[in-house]
Amino acid sequence: MKNPTLQFILASLLLPLASHAATPDYAALTAAAKTANAAPVATQDGKFQPTWASLQQYETPEWFRDAKFGIWAHWGPQCEPEQGDWYARNMWTEIGKDGKPHPEYTYHLTHYGPQSKVGFKDVIHEWKAKDWVPAKLMQIYKRAGAQYFMALANHHDNLDLWDSKYQPWNSVNVGPQKDLIGGWAKAARAEGLRFGVSVHAARTWSWYEPAQGADTQGPYTGIPYDGKTTAADGKGKWWDGLDPQELYAQNHEPKAKADDAYKIKFFNRTIDLINQYQPDMVYFDDSVMPISSQDGDWGLKIASHFYNSSMLWHDGKNEAVVTTKGLSAMQRKCVVYDIERGRSDHIEPLPWQTDTCIGDWHYSRALFDRHGYKKITDVIPLLIDVVSKNGNLMLSVPLNRDGVPDSDELAFLEKMTAWMDIHKEGIFATRPWKIYGEGPSTAQQEKGHFGGLKDTGSTPFTPEDIRFTTSKDGGTLYAFFLAWPKDGKLTIKSLAEGGTAPALLDKKIASLSLLGSTEKITWTQDADGLHATLPATPVGESACALRLTLR
């Protein structure tokens, strides 16, 4: 692949692009959103009620347990500046922790104008997503092994990326003037992938609070930032008829508790999202539940509605998955536990997920320019480790402002495709074995920022680092070795035969082969382990696997 980006763009031209609509009547849209009735909720007579006790009836659907790998497009208006994460907050942060002007503050001042005159609403106006072709992207993701696809539905910046009934600041009315969630959903389902949406807007109330400030030095000292702008300030401007406070939600004192109107609006928006697009999965970027499970049980109401709705959509079977973070053992029976940019250190009794990214969550041009993404040799061992512990990996591959992956990302996805073509049988529809693995990496405790272990550690894997998965019927065992032995000699201690300790492998090995190779593998088994002689040439550039047929 000489120029992956050019190849992608040329191929995309063969697919139709959505055209921009005429400028909406913002005043009418705002009035409609404010007078809309409450979103219909399927809880009154459903199996699941909005309590932890009722939600413990939940069983993780088989599709999620089998999927193991999903791709996430964490893509929204904060990708327009291509400055990385949290631009819509950091652009208001005049001085960083190092005592210097914050890079995003300086970028905004230089490229868009002073924060007192040009706010994030105006960045949204610039964002057009002009080269976004979801059908083409989904073909690439599916080839790379994705079994489900997650689309960003809103972030803390509070722009809904669908035809939202309750939020006039949405991607159909402003910015791209496209129903992004609708486009993603159609493309995912056309490729046979399960479809998910990620919801992050519960944090907007406090997250945008720097927008209430003003410069403390320079020519704009003391002039309030755009975050306090009201509808009355829009006369004759591009956003005339829209209320910026419906976006920023900063008509309150800093650190004040979110009011009922804010909570109800978030609830209605999320229910509307579920009702319109009928996703298979909803990801909450929250600790336990959005808003607060102790403050009106808003998150529990959403989860119970989603589960009951899924049963209506699927002939009485609940196919829904909700993921969130910071869960107790009891709460993990109700929703799926998610570890952001991290891993469990053991086999979890219930299915779980890690979400991580090969770069920043929002697109960073500087990261691409310095070729700073995670390598395939980082991500493949992470996937194997997570799957060996009963988990799934949801991987974000950032899109630039226009909705296109860059050349490094396309090259990464091509390598992922090549690896999956060989090794997917040891990943998809597998289950954990008696132990998840062996080797030096099992003793490492490099803690992550969000619980569990760091997603990709700083210590290289060795040929002694082994991870196990097994077929559902237990008839096939896969032993992934996370580095190729230089001398071609591989020993797996956990597969020892005889000795004083009870053998973990309590079946006989009928045959043994190396995935991706037609060469016959010579092997022996004794009290020290299973010893295999591998081909002279490694199979690919990342982790490989032995397939053991048992009887």
> Lowest mean pLDDT: which of 86-100, 291-305, 434-448?
291-305
Confidence band, pLDDT 50/70/90 cuts, at residue 8: low
Q: What is the pLDDT of residues 237-255, one digit of tens each?
A: 999 999 999 999 999 999 9
pLDDT tens digits, one per residue of 469-501: 999 999 999 999 999 999 999 999 999 997 666
Nearest Cα to Cα of residue 285 among 74, 490, 447: 74
Q: What is the mean pLDDT of residues 502-521?
A: 93
Q: What tokens does 515 get?
A: 């995935």
Contacts of 489 (CB under 8 A, 6+ apart): 531, 532, 533, 534
pLDDT of residue 18: 43
- pLDDT grade for 38, boundaries at 50, 70 and 90: confident
Cα gap 506→140, rounded to integer Å: 41
456 secondary structure, DSSP code:
S
Q: Given a cut of 90, is residue 20 above it in pLDDT?
A: no
Place of tokens 């709460």: 331
Alpha-carbon span 323 to 144, nearest angstrom: 23
**Residue recorded with tokens 């509307």:** 272
Q: Which two tokens stand for residue 389?
A: 């512990």
pLDDT tens profile 247-285: 999 999 999 999 999 999 999 999 999 999 999 999 999
pLDDT of amino acid 399:
98
Give me the pLDDT at residue 9, please: 45
pLDDT, residue 7, reads: 57
For residue 380, how far is the Cα from the chain centroid? Answer: 16
Residues 6+ positions from 97 with CB-CB distance below 8 Å: none
For residue 10, pLDDT beyond 70: no
Q: Is residue 15 scored above 60 in pLDDT?
A: no
CA atoms of 547 and 551, how far apart (whole Å)? 13
pLDDT higher than threshold 80 for residue 534 = yes
Residue with tokens 């705002």: 30
**One-letter amino acid of 78:** Q
Q: Quote the CA–CA distance of 45 and 101 in Å, as a whole number.
A: 55
Once rounded to an integer, what is the mean pLDDT over residues 127-138? 98
H-helix segments, 314-450: 365-369, 376-388, 407-423
How far the first Cα of the chain sits from its last, in Å, is: 43
The reported pTM is 0.94
pLDDT at residue number 447? 80
The β-bridge relationship of strands 466-471 and 430-431 is antiparallel
Instruction: Please write the tens of the pLDDT for every residue from 65-119.
Output: 999 999 999 999 999 999 999 999 999 999 999 999 999 999 999 999 999 999 9
- Give Cα 8 to chain centroid, integer Å: 23
- CA–CA dist 548, 91 (Å, integer): 55
DSSP letters along 161-181, please? SS--SS-SSBTTTSTT-S-HH
Whether the per-residue pLDDT at 208 is higher than 50: the answer is yes
Give the contacts of 510 (CB within 8 A, at least 6 positions apart). Answer: 549, 550, 551
DSSP letters, 92-155, are T-SB-TTSSB-HHHHHHHHHT--TTT--HHHHHHH---TT--HHHHHHHHHHTT-SEEEEEEE-
Flag whether pLDDT at 294 surpasses 70.
no
The number of CA neighbours under 13 Å toward the Cβ of 178 is: 22
pLDDT at 21: 55
Query: What is residue 19's predicted lDDT score, i.e. its pLDDT?
Result: 43
Mean of the pLDDT values across residues 398-412? Answer: 98
Contact (CB, 8 A) for 539 and 514: yes
* In 112-243, alpha helices (H): 120-126, 134-143, 180-190, 204-207
Phi, then psi, of 530 in degrees rounded to 5: -95, 130
> In angstroms, rounded to a whole number, what is the distance separating the alpha carbons of residues 214 and 210?
9
455/374 Cα distance (integer angstroms): 11
